Amino acid sequence: MSTSLDGVLIKKANKTETYTDAQIEDLAKCMDPITGYLYFAKKFAFIQHPVQGKLLFDPFSYQVRLLKSYHDHRFNVNMLPRQTGKTTTAAIYLAWYAMFFADQTVLIAAHKYTGAQEIMQRIRYVYESCPDHIRAGVTNYNKGSMEFENGSRIVSATTTGNTGRGMSISLLYCDEFAFVQPNIAEEFWTSISPTLATGGRAIITSTPNSDEDTFAVIWKQSQDKYDTHGNEQEVGVNGFHGFTCTWDEHPDRDEAWKVAEIGRIGEEKFRREYGCEFLVYDETLINSIHLSTMEAQNPLMNMGQTRWYGTPTGDQNYAVALDPAMGTGGDYAAIQVYELPSYKQIAEWRHNETPIPAQIRILRDICTHILDCCKTTGSNIYWSVENNSIGEAALIVINDFGEENIPGLFVSEPMRKGHVRKFRKGFNTTHGTKITACSRLKTMIENKKITINSGPLITELKNYVATGTSFRAKPGANDDLVSATLLALRMMAVLKDWDPRIYNTFTQAEGEEQYEPPMPIFVSGY
């Protein structure tokens, strides 16, 4: 033993020691690569409680889940409420990791110098509170770093654009990453990511700050667990596992505490810091509160890459909308299927490498599946395509394919009064028609008049924001599924004049009185 920082006794490195059988058993359990972290945390990790002083760590259930998330996933992003013990939990895991895994470099990056020192102080407290037979011998021990006789080290630093550059990092821990200055955070992450590519791990932890920062991007990508075909994965598209918990999982917090805290800091700050809500600074089409309550459903079946969330029945109508794309790896082509007048999303397809002829065949297959399920003549199936730009090519393919070979009726928008453009089947999207459809979608979702089942579509809606005088996906996000849904809504606006059931349900969302309109003659085009 020797005296070091602040008069603390630490364990010297490279000393021969004798252990009892019980101590050897403790070491073996701590070294277990599967469960060692939890054994160490519960039996040997002490914390400084602000009121009760030194206590053996007795993790809450969400802290056990958090530790497991750290350990089971290579890349972790954690969005956690304030004062839930996230820093203490991380300090325990990092101390265990460095002491029981040889030749590891743990880098702690905090948004402020004081934050980095606070984490190191907690790691030192965990280390110094361990019994001597558990503590690893140290070769270097100061306020900013620790080095152990097993070749591992813990280094702390303020997050800058150059932090960690040139280091071989085994485990990166970023604390309160959302509060790092945006340009610095982006520069840091861009420079540090390559150092993790050879096997390094990362733990990023923060309460939310804005909807645009690097932390928010990483978090949102961790929640997008669907591949390009819409199939669900265990981790997000960026490889990160996302973890969060709610403020009321802390046993000392209840509704009375919530009311008092809101009175102290205000509802908006409470929702961000304790509710872990991204209070969107961008104006999303759908109110952020409604977006947060939308839940994806697992598909009942997959037919190729088409996900079916319901089984068609003969007593319902079906709107099948195709938003085509070139199919060369750029924009996605997408198909949405909605049941009417229940207004439930029952199927969805998207892909960006499917050529237009194949897109039309998939449209046909979807309509055929509906026909087979309903056992009708197809009079309850309505389908259409957007005819802008690429859509013109789709119309040519449909003509060559034979409109009659696709079950159902090809729906087209009526000619507008005074419009001189040559008539084309399908729907032409303009700024005005898009805004109208967006307004209808917003009204129907927020009034719970439409059921969205698709996880990929919900993800797109969360990134569908006001841009100038219109709406579109944020940079780096997609909106093809939204576009196909907007097309389906435009179809519904036409179909409501053909079916009183559709009319009544559709117009209720817009606050109009119910009545049965006359049934005009169906004309799909000229």
**DSSP sequence for 215-251:** HHHHHHHHH--B-TT--B-SS-TTSPEEEE--GGGST
Are 326 and 229 found together in one domain?
Answer: no
Give residue 191's pLDDT. Answer: 85
Beta strand 306-308 pairing with 344-351: antiparallel
Residue 121 in domain:
yes
Range of the domain at 143: 24-245
Are 229 and 324 found together in one domain?
Answer: no
406-439 residue pLDDT tens = 999 999 988 766 555 677 899 999 999 999 999 9
Q: Dihedrals φ, ψ of 10, to 5°?
A: -120, 165
Report the C-alpha gap between 51 and 524 in whole angstroms.
75
Any idea which residue has 């007593």 for tokens? 315
Are 235 and 308 found together in one domain?
Answer: no
**CATH number of the domain encompassing residue 73:** 3.40.50.300
End position of a domain, from candidates 245, 279, 310: 245
Residue 273 in domain:
no
Q: Where are the beta strands (DSSP E) in 285-360?
A: 301-303, 306-308, 317-323, 333-340, 344-351
324-381 residue pLDDT tens = 999 888 889 999 999 998 999 999 999 999 999 999 999 999 999 999 999 988 889 9
Write the single-letter amino acid at 398: I
End position of a domain, from candidates 245, 268, 288: 245
Are 443 and 339 found together in one domain?
Answer: yes
Residue 231 in domain:
yes
Are 235 and 358 found together in one domain?
Answer: no
Give residue 302's pLDDT. Answer: 94
* Burial of 207 from C-beta contacts in 10 A (0-12 / 13-18 / 19+): buried
Bridge-partner residues for 156, per DSSP? 108
Query: Do residues 460 and 313 touch, judged by C-beta distance below 8 A?
Result: no
Give residue 330's pLDDT. Answer: 82
Q: Which pTM was predicted?
A: 0.57
Query: Do residues 363 and 406 touch, judged by C-beta distance below 8 A?
Result: yes
Give residue 153's pLDDT. Answer: 95
Residue 269 in domain:
no
Give residue 513's pLDDT. Answer: 41
Give residue 418's pLDDT. Answer: 59
Query: Do residues 464 and 476 touch, judged by C-beta distance below 8 A?
Result: no
Are 217 and 347 found together in one domain?
Answer: no
Report the C-alpha gap between 317 and 246 in whole angstroms.
41
Residue 504 in domain:
yes
Give residue 518's pLDDT. Answer: 37
Number of domain units in the chain: 2
Are 153 and 43 found together in one domain?
Answer: yes
Residue 265 in domain:
no
Report the C-alpha gap between 271 and 510 in whole angstroms.
30
Are 178 and 29 found together in one domain?
Answer: yes
Which stretches of the chain drop beneath a pLDDT of 70? 1-9, 210-212, 279-282, 416-421, 499-526
Note the residue count of the chain.
526
Are 180 and 305 found together in one domain?
Answer: no
Are 329 and 206 found together in one domain?
Answer: no
- In what helix (H) or strand (E) does residue 36 lie, and over which residues does it extend? helix 36-44
Contacts of 418 (CB under 8 A, 6+ apart): none
Residue 8 in domain:
no
Report the C-alpha gap between 78 and 66 in whole angstroms.
8
Residue closest to 216 by CA, chosen among 502, 476, 509, 493 = 476
Any idea which residue has 């654009």 for tokens? 161
Are 339 and 482 found together in one domain?
Answer: yes
Contacts of 394 (CB under 8 A, 6+ apart): 322, 324, 356, 359, 360, 385, 387, 426
Report the C-alpha gap between 465 and 148 in whole angstroms.
50
Give residue 43's pLDDT. Answer: 96
Are 326 and 467 found together in one domain?
Answer: yes
Residue 458 in domain:
yes
